[in-house]
Structure 1
Amino acid sequence: MKALPEGVDIVTIYGPTACGKTAVACQLAEMLGGVVLSADSRQVYRGMDIGTGKDLAEYRLADGYEVPYRLIDVAEAGERYDLHRYLQDFDKAYDELPKEQPKILCGGTGLYVSALYGGYRLSEVPPNKALRAELEQLSVEELRERLKTLGGAEMLESEELDGGEGVNPRRLVRAIELREAEATLPASDSSNRKPLRGPIFCLDPSRELRRARISARLEARLKSGLVEEVEGLLARVPKEVLLGYGLEYRYVTEYLLGERNWEEMHRGLEVAIHQFAKRQMTWARGLERRGFELIYLTPSEEPRETAEAMVASIFEKGENEI
């Protein structure tokens, strides 16, 4: 096991969808003897495997090494899961791990990464029926503006609010509900987490490579049973909830309900994923504007080469072997 340098709590791997984050994180975990903690707002759900790209087989490396991971499959599909619960689950997972074991945060949900590095904490907030009734009368643009006035502009760039074609109104209402509640809390109650410290690596493939990977991965998911996965979920999860998960779950649900034909589903989903990847990179630039430093890396064809570049960067000021 190789301990992280003093002052480094965690190493983060962020980047757009289909850029190979999981494969690189697993290689890095083996090299350091570390554990991967997911930062993906949809991989928390059991039974949502193909559409969320859990790629659990990648945690079993070619040499037989099993990479330990946390924060995947921690909730039932259809269950409410938001930033507050993620932070609770993260703290529990982090605290249960040996202090000296390197932790690797991996995922594309920018809001989760931002909250962890910003020391953000929100008390549990029950649904506010009166507020929801008021907000449901507003347009998406009006909801966006309201969230911005509450200091939630960064949330608009996150997968947490994404519905496959931009912001999801249902999640946007919940985000406003959380921010409204936070505004009534003393500062000591709303923001007293210890911010995580450590490098944030952002995988940044070329536009052409990113688009090619997204298209190829979509084809692979459709061939490996994505439609059947969503069909099984529809039998136990309300369609409105599945639609709210966005991207694969929205488009395939609409296809199964007869609202899109195969071509419309396939093409629409491909375009939506490309747009989402662009928004993920927009979030990365937003994080920099808020004062966080990102280390951009062009991912190599071999994930281990990218992981080796990360190790060199992490330990450029010296190594500390355990």
Structure 2
Amino acid sequence: MRQIKVATRKSALAVTQTNWVCSQLESVYPGLKIEMEKIVTQGDRILEVTLSKIGGKGLFVKEIEQALLDGTADFAVHSMKDMPAEIPDGLMIVAVPEREDPRDVLISRDGRSFIELPKGAKVGTSSLRRAAQIKAARPDLEIRPLRGNIDTRLRKLEEEELDAIILAAAGLSRMGWLNRSTERLSVDICIPAVGQGALAVQCRSDDKDMIELLSVLDHEPTRMEVMAERAFLGKLNGGCQVPIGGFAESHDGLISLRGFVGTPDGSTLLKEFAEGNRPEELGLEVAAKLMDRGAFEILEAVNQEMKS
């Protein structure tokens, strides 16, 4: 079996995720040789500006996708929440492995839960989605910008005198650091990002051998959930400039999807819910419900503000 090359971001979490994918493949294909190419993306290089101000979705995948298109890598492993709704021509998401916990977690400096944080507590996050929902639930809290890899954000909790930070449970779990979390936030408080907790295994759409090899990684329930969430995101044409979240769960062949669109200051949060067994139709249905309630006006207002 020929040696193949996998492309990934250079961060510790990305490498850990990719190593996990490689170990799964090697357990199915003994003797398979996989070489890792670590790529620094635009999102990794720009750390002092919030994602919403520098383009949002795609910042962590473009260079990696180009390596696939150029043929310098055979497949890639991404965090699904980094993937834009549109995939470049010539590429495909061939497998979606079983998802980790998609929820967000609060890590506080003194062990206080979200509801116990004192008035005016400083909470670190650079996610508009998290910030808007946190402000809606606790308008008294102060949101502070927080960029960087997981280890950097954990360090800033102490260095920047923050009272708490919010991170994805999945990343902490994959790094073996979930015991540092104070509380897993209910989706009633904080709906996760589309695709959060899931991985996207990507390759060229004409590479039949690679498609066959990688398809063993696919977990159908996770794929169905992610399809619903991504259809929802695609319909709203949402990126990091607007607070948007989508969370699907599957039970006995039925998928439930809750989604929200909000204003960046958290003053308006529109939430909708639907169930069905056709994931893409479900995503479009929840998006349409939100559009009917004013999501289009929120999206337009934010887009106009970004242009001005």
TM-score (norm 1): 0.27
More strand by share: 2
TM-score (norm 2): 0.28
More helix by share: 1
